[in-house]
Amino acid sequence: VVLCKSFKIDIAAGSGFTTATAYDLGWLPKDAQLVSYNLIVATAVSGGTVSAATLALSVGGQLIVSAGNVYATAALAGAASALYMTSGFSQTVDQKITYTPTLTGAGATAGIIYINLQYVV
């Protein structure tokens, strides 16, 4: 059975996106293995002096997306890395899901990003 966790990052509603810091989204349970993901930019990141924006996504400390372009409306989908599927998951503790934005410019005030993680346990 494939399960899914979904998250919404809404910058205008207060979701963290202003510094190159890891922001927590949630958790995958121990023994979970990520099988695929979707990163959907419904509204591009904008505002202030922002001229480029990317998002990195990690699960359990394993980098899944290194620089997803969130400055343009798009949908990115892909399989999780083979490394994650074979050795990156934890059998003993839940796995924290984090995202880290990188901005060229500053003062982002808008942007809606959806993240879907499909996994098995």
Q: Which of 40, 22, 61, 50 is nearest to 112 (CA)?
A: 40
- Rounded Cα distance between 112 and 121, Å, is 29
pLDDT digits (tens, 9 = 90+) for 81-107: 665 665 666 678 888 999 999 999 989
Predicted structure pTM score: 0.88
- Residue 116 is encoded by which pair of tokens? 């879907």
- Rounded Cα distance between 32 and 37, Å, is 14
Distances (CA, A) of 74 to 10, 46, 77, 108: 16, 14, 10, 18
Give the HSE-up count for residue 59: Cα atoms under 13 Å, Cβ half-sphere: 29
- Whether 76 shows a pLDDT value over 70: the answer reads yes
